[in-house]
């Protein structure tokens, strides 16, 4: 998956690679900087110039944050040389403050709503509007080239303004965003003449009726990446075909489900240089009649010699699967998470995927399918197993058997997301020992409060083993029956954990206390339906300024308790969110708390009370 | 024509209940005891018992399919959050569990993914076991037939199959243009007057509708029986079909 995909391996991964454009820009800037401020002016000026040239090469934002703390001079120079601005919470700092400090930004990476908003736990129109940022950037950043937004609200007008305000704009990536439609896309693509990347990932796109694909400007296009698999409306295929034909640099193309396999074929033969392909429907729109000639899809795939990432398969007909055999040996990423296939259908494919590093799949493949994965994919780094039936209390196609097999076969595993109906401590402990490189461990036992089905014990020991043995762990999501003991383990051993997700777990305030006191690197804590109350929160307050946010819904917090916290911590914004039909009572339904330099925001809707 | 996001809510395909027999796990031992809220300490006020697993399962069996499929309806635009307060005082009487057992946002799968998988049911092996057999009658024919709607992928396929079964009639043009035609009243009248026979169906609400007015998948989910009517008799249906379509869109 692209590192900008909906769920990054580790969201704040500081090992991000710098885009090529940054390096080009850097060397140009270096030459420019030498020209200003001659050596005879001031010895300090020389040092600053040198520093400026050096800092251009520093891309990691964590390193940059450290650099800016050295002294005022370094702070200034770092601010001048930061070209990619990352804001993890759009309300932590105002657009004006950001543009005032960082004056030469070319790329903005902005995140809005907290993750639990994805699961309908937050009423709509909560906020996270892109508009104020857009307006604030137009003048200070005329050379803005790239915008990456996650969980933000973007309107059609915003898209039009974006393209109009920045003539050199090149890359737009919208992940889990909403508020815009095909009209906005049409205005954006028609005005954005230098566009290289347009990636719409798991965003909700409104159908305004506009044929936006036809709005790309005529003539040769600079497009390198076009991802629109989340757009749930038909597109003009002929226009798309023409667009692909005039985009020689196109490397990434992810189609939506309105592109049939026959149409896919036509696109693939135009673009054999593709490296990332989302196949769309992967079945014909109508059953081929007897007289029709079946296209040789296999040759189309074989022609794509550079293909390393495959996804799509929205309405897969397994008969067509053999078409992808020619590319399996080169694949590093395969997303079957919409493909309802069983183990038998998976085996002939997965047995060829020796180089696979990222694999997303549905639990329809069962434990047997996972065993096949374990047998072949020795290079696997990331596995996600999604449920075909996202319900509790049904039979489990995957279980501890699959997890055990993966842990034994894929020992280089770094990231796992596993939905299941049953899991044992033994299998989780096995994974903790077999896969020491784990950075992300997210296990979702779908039945709430489910104990180990073999021993009847809570799942404390399993998760305890994970935090104890996986020394690089930075992200953890827990589930199943868990007592405070599990949190004691997490607090004691999870010293690198930055993101923790808790649901239906714990016995008492002690659970939360352990975590807040123990996990010194904790940045993002999201908790739902767990018996943690005011006392627990108070005990860990000192830590909250280091956290990006804390989310607690359906816990034991009282309004008074939250009020006290708001008083004690002036730099925290304490939002109490209630749903529309709930009375204001003593218990706080949802608490969303985050550090901010700006104080309470002015765009909060009625159902949000900022204490 | 909307096909995607709202589709999965019909038909309640997400409501299988199974595996109740798995509740032989010694739950007495694993039941957690919680104090009342504000009670603070760990396990002192052992008044509220968490609902055991078996109770959770029982609840589901009692729910009508409408209720639980309505729970997660309309993805992110839901205004009302029905939260289950399973930890707060209303659970003091474990024998009387709250009416809603399904919980918002759990399991944590994004609506987009849930919807995509729900609308795919037509092509999965699972649902070919629950094949959609409907009776087909034709005015004047001596006996009825039965067809499995899941064997077909489009109105054209169905039309061809029925034509083979019953001889001469036609659904007419069933491309997207054809569906637009159905929405156009005067064209509809022409079509009905011209054809010998016109296929109609009874939907979940018990209404008789003209075949072809909704997207194929929606039709398969909602069709309960088919009747091939004489064209002249079907004219009375047309205004109602139009009305229903307008209400839907």
Q: Where are the domains of chain B?
A: 133-230
Candidates A397, A415, A323; CA nearest to A360 is A415
How far is it, in rounded angstroms, from Cα A407 to Cα A400? 10
Position B150 scores a pLDDT of 80
Residue B50: DSSP 8-state: P
What radius of gyration, in Å, describes the C-alpha atoms of chain A? Answer: 25
Domain boundaries, chain A: 46-78
Structure-model confidence comparison of residues A250 and B210, the more confident one: A250
Whether omega for the bond prior to residue B107 falls within 30 degrees of 0, making it cis, is yes
Question: Which segments of B3-124 does DSSP mark as H helices, in order?
Answer: 27-30, 53-62, 65-71, 111-119
Locate the chain B residue with the closest alpha carbon to A339: B117
DSSP helix/strand/coil, B109: coil
Which string of b and e fits A565-593 if b means at least 16 CB within 10 Å?
Answer: bbeebeebbbbbbbbeeeeeeebbbbbbb
pLDDT at residue B104 is higher than 50 = yes
What residues in A contact B41, CB-CB < 8 Å? 508
Q: Are A347 and A370 in contact (CB under 8 A)?
A: no
Locate the chain B residue with the closest alpha carbon to A338: B117
Which string of b and e fits A203-231 if b means at least 16 CB within 10 Å?
Answer: bbbebeebebbbbbeeeebebbbbbbbbb
Q: Is B3 on the interface with A (CB under 8 A)?
A: yes
What's the rounded mean pLDDT across residues B16-22?
38
**Best to test chain A binding among B63, B76, B106 (most A CBs inside 10 Å):** B106
Q: Given an 8 Å threshold on Cβ–Cβ distance, is B110 in contact with A118?
A: yes
DSSP helix/strand/coil, A81: helix
Tell me if the domain spanning A46-78 has CATH number 3.40.50.2000: no
Locate the chain B residue with the closest alpha carbon to A118: B110
How many helices (DSSP H) and strands (DSSP E) are in chain B? 11, 7
Structure tokens at A407: 């842990």
Cα B48 to Cα B28, B132, B166: the distances in Å are: 14, 46, 65
Rounded to the nearest angstrom, the minimum Cα separation between B173 and chain A is 15
What residues in A contact B75, CB-CB < 8 Å? 120, 204
Q: Given an 8 Å threshold on Cβ–Cβ distance, is A450 in contact with B32?
A: no
Structure tokens at A501: 């997700």
Q: For all residues of chain B together, what is the average pLDDT?
A: 57
How far is it, in rounded angstroms, from Cα B110 to Cα A116? 10
Q: Given an 8 Å threshold on Cβ–Cβ distance, is A448 in contact with B106?
A: yes
Q: Which of A216-220, B22-26, B75-79 has the lowest mean pLDDT?
A: B75-79
| Single pTM value for the model | 0.72
Candidates A395, A341, A396, A420; CA nearest to A373 is A341
Residues 6+ apart with CB under 8 A from A185: A159, A205, A210, A212, A215
Q: Which of B17, B22, B30 is nearest residue A481 as measured by Cβ atoms?
A: B30
Q: Given an 8 Å threshold on Cβ–Cβ distance, is B25 in contact with A453?
A: yes
What residues in A contact B3, CB-CB < 8 Å? 232
Which segment, A208-222, B9-23, B92-106, B166-180, is predicted with the most confidence on average?
Answer: A208-222
Cα A283 to Cα A41, A546, B125: the distances in Å are: 70, 50, 16
Position B75 scores a pLDDT of 36
Structure-model confidence comparison of residues B168 and A516, the more confident one: A516
In the block, tokens 């339904």 appear at: A589
Locate the chain A residue with the closest alpha carbon to B52: A449
Structure-model confidence comparison of residues A439 and B68, the more confident one: A439
Q: Given an 8 Å threshold on Cβ–Cβ distance, is A120 in contact with B117?
A: no
Q: Which of A474-483, B71-80, B93-102 has the lowest mean pLDDT?
A: B71-80
Rounded to the nearest angstrom, the minimum Cα separation between A180 and chain B is 14
How does residue B53 score in pLDDT terms, banded at 50, 70 and 90?
very low
Contacts 24+ apart (CB under 8 A), B171-176: B171/B198, B171/B199, B171/B211, B171/B212, B172/B212, B174/B212, B176/B1
pLDDT at residue B44 is higher than 70 = no
What residues in B contact A281, CB-CB < 8 Å? none
Rounded to the nearest angstrom, the minimum Cα separation between A407 and chain B is 24
Longest dimension (CA), chain B: 80
How far is it, in rounded angstroms, from Cα B212 to Cα B35? 58
Q: Given an 8 Å threshold on Cβ–Cβ distance, is A119 in contact with B114?
A: no
What residues in B contact A507, CB-CB < 8 Å? 32, 34, 42-43
From chain B residues 190-209, the ones with a CB under 8 A of any chain A CB are none
What's the rounded mean pLDDT across residues B98-108?
69
Q: Given an 8 Å threshold on Cβ–Cβ distance, is A391 in contact with B16?
A: yes
Q: Are A444 and A479 in contact (CB under 8 A)?
A: yes
Q: Given an 8 Å threshold on Cβ–Cβ distance, is B16 in contact with A338?
A: no
Q: Which of B19, B37, B38 is nearest residue A395 as measured by Cβ atoms?
A: B19
Q: List chain A residues with pLDDT less than 50.
A: 1-39, 289-292
How far is it, in rounded angstroms, from Cα A229 to Cα A223? 16
Candidates A541, A579, A580; CA nearest to A561 is A541
Longest dimension (CA), chain A: 85
Residue A314: DSSP 8-state: T
Position A374 scores a pLDDT of 98
Q: Are B25 and A520 in contact (CB under 8 A)?
A: no
Rounded to the nearest angstrom, the minimum Cα separation between B136 and chain A is 23
What residues in B contact A455, CB-CB < 8 Å? none
From chain B residues 54-73, the ones with a CB under 8 A of any chain A CB are 56-57, 60, 72
What's the rounded mean pLDDT across residues B127-150?
74
Locate the chain A residue with the closest alpha carbon to B55: A393
Structure-model confidence comparison of residues B186 and A473, the more confident one: A473
Q: Given an 8 Å threshold on Cβ–Cβ distance, is B120 in contact with A315?
A: yes
Rounded to the nearest angstrom, the minimum Cα separation between B245 and chain A is 19
Position A41 scores a pLDDT of 55
Structure-model confidence comparison of residues B77 and A65, the more confident one: A65
CATH class of B133-230: alpha beta
What residues in B contact A530, CB-CB < 8 Å? 87
What residues in A contact B78, CB-CB < 8 Å? 120, 123-124
Rounded to the nearest angstrom, the minimum Cα separation between A582 and chain B is 9
Specify the length of chain B in residues.
Answer: 249
Q: Which of A386, A396, A589 is nearest residue B109 as measured by Cβ atoms?
A: A386
Residue B243, burial from CB neighbour count under 10 angstroms (0-12, 13-18, 19+): exposed
How does residue B141 score in pLDDT terms, banded at 50, 70 and 90?
confident
Candidates A484, A490, A477; CA nearest to A445 is A477
Q: Given an 8 Å threshold on Cβ–Cβ distance, is B153 in contact with A286?
A: yes
Position A74 scores a pLDDT of 87
How far is it, in rounded angstroms, from Cα A363 to Cα A399? 9
Cα B68–chain centre separation: 11
From chain B residues 76-105, the ones with a CB under 8 A of any chain A CB are 76-81, 83, 85-88, 102-105
Rounded to the nearest angstrom, the minimum Cα separation between A41 and chain B is 59
ipTM for the assembly: 0.84
From chain B residues 149-168, the ones with a CB under 8 A of any chain A CB are 153-154, 156-157
What residues in B contact A396, CB-CB < 8 Å? 19
Residues 6+ apart with CB under 8 A from A113: A122, A126, A127, A128, A151, A152
Q: Are A376 and A402 in contact (CB under 8 A)?
A: no
């Amino acid at each position: 998956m692209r590192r900008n995909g909906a769920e990054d391996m580790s969201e704040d991964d500081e090992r991000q690679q710098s885009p090529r454009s940054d390096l080009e820009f850097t060397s140009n800037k270096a030459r420019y900087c030498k020209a200003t401020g001659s050596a005879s002016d001031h010895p300090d000026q020389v040092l600053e110039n040198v520093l400026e040239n050096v800092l251009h090469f520093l891309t990691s934002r964590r390193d940059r944050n450290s650099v800016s703390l050295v002294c005022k001079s370094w702070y200034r120079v770092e601010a001048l040389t930061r070209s990619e601005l990352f804001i993890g919470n759009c309300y932590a700092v105002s657009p004006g403050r950001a543009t005032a400090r960082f004056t030469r930004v070319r790329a903005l990476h902005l995140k809005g709503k907290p993750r639990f908003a994805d699961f309908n736990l937050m009423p709509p129109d909560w906020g996270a509007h892109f508009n104020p940022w857009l307006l604030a950037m137009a003048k200070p950043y005329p050379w803005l080239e790239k915008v990456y937004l996650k969980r933000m609200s973007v309107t059609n007008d915003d898209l039009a303004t974006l393209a109009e305000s920045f003539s050199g704009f090149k890359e737009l990536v919208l992940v889990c965003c909403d508020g815009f439609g095909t009209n906005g896309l049409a205005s954006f693509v028609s005005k954005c003449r230098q566009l290289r990347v347009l990636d719409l990932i798991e965003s909700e796109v409104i159908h305004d009726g506009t044929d936006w694909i036809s709005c790309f400007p005529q003539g040769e296009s600079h497009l390198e990446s076009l991802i629109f698999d989340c757009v749930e409306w038909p597109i003009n295929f002929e226009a798309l075909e023409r667009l692909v034909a005039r985009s020689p640099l196109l490397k990434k193309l992810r189609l939506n489900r309105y592109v049939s396999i026959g149409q896919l074929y036509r696109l693939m033969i135009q673009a054999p240089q593709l490296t990332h392909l989302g196949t769309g429907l992967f079945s014909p729109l109508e059953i081929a009649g007897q007289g029709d000639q079946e296209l040789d899809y296999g040759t189309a795939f074989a022609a794509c010699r550079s293909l390393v990432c495959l996804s799509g398969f929205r309405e897969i007909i397994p008969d067509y699967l053999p078409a992808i055999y020619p590319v399996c040996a080169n694949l590093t990423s395969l997303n079957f998470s919409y493909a309802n296939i069983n183990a038998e259908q998976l085996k002939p494919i997965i047995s060829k995927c020796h180089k696979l590093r990222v694999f997303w799949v549905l639990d329809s493949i069962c434990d047997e399918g996972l065993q096949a994965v374990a047998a072949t994919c020795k290079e696997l780094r990331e596995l996600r197993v999604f449920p075909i039936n996202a319900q509790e209390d049904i039979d489990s196609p995957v279980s501890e058997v699959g997890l055990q097999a993966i842990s034994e076969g894929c020992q280089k595993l770094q990231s796992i997301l596993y939905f299941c109906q049953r899991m044992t401590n033994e299998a989780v402990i096995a994974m903790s020992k077999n896969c020491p490189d784990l950075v992300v461990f997210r296990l979702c036992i779908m039945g709430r409060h489910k104990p180990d089905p073999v021993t009847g014990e809570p799942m404390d020991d399993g998760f305890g083993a994970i935090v104890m043995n996986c020394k690089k762990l930075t992200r953890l999501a827990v589930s199943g029956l868990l007592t405070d003991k599990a949190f004691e383990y997490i607090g004691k051993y999870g010293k690198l954990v930055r993101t923790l997700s808790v649901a239906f777990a714990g016995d008492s305030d002690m659970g939360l206390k352990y975590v807040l006191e123990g996990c010194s690197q904790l940045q993002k804590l999201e908790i739902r339906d767990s018996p943690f109350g005011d006392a627990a929160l108070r005990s860990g307050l000192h830590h909250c300024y280091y956290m990006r946010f804390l989310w607690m819904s359906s816990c034991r917090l009282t309004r008074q308790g939250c009020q006290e916290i708001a008083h004690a911590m002036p730099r925290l914004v304490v939002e109490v969110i209630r749903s529309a039909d709930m009375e204001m009572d003593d218990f706080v339904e949802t608490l969303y708390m985050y550090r901010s330099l700006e104080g309470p925001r002015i765009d909060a809707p009625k159902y949000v009370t900022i204490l | 024509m909307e096909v995607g996001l709202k589709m999965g809510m019909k038909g309640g395909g997400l409501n299988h209940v199974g595996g109740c027999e798995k509740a032989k796990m010694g739950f007495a031992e694993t039941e957690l005891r919680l104090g009342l809220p504000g009670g603070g300490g760990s396990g002192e006020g052992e008044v509220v018992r968490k609902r055991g697993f078996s109770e959770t399962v029982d609840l589901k069996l009692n729910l009508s399919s409408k209720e639980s499929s309505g729970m997660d309806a309309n993805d992110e635009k839901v205004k009302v959050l029905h939260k289950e307060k399973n930890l707060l005082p209303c659970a003091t009487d474990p024998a009387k569990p709250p009416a809603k057992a399904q919980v918002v946002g759990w399991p944590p799968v994004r609506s987009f993914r849930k919807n995509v998988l729900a609308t795919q049911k037509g092509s999965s092996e699972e649902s070919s076991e629950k094949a959609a057999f409907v009776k087909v009658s034709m005015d004047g024919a001596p006996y009825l037939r039965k067809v499995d709607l899941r064997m077909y992928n489009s109105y054209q396929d169905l039309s061809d199959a029925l034509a083979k079964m019953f001889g001469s009639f036609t659904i007419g043009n069933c491309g997207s243009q054809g569906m637009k035609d159905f929405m156009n009243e005067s064209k509809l009248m022409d079509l009905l007057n011209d054809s010998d026979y016109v296929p109609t169906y009874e939907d979940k609400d018990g209404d008789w509708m003209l075949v072809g007015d909704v997207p194929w998948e929606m039709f398969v989910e909602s069709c309960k029986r088919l009747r091939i009517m004489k064209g002249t008799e079907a004219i009375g249906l047309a205004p109602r079909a139009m009305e229903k379509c307008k209400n839907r869109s």
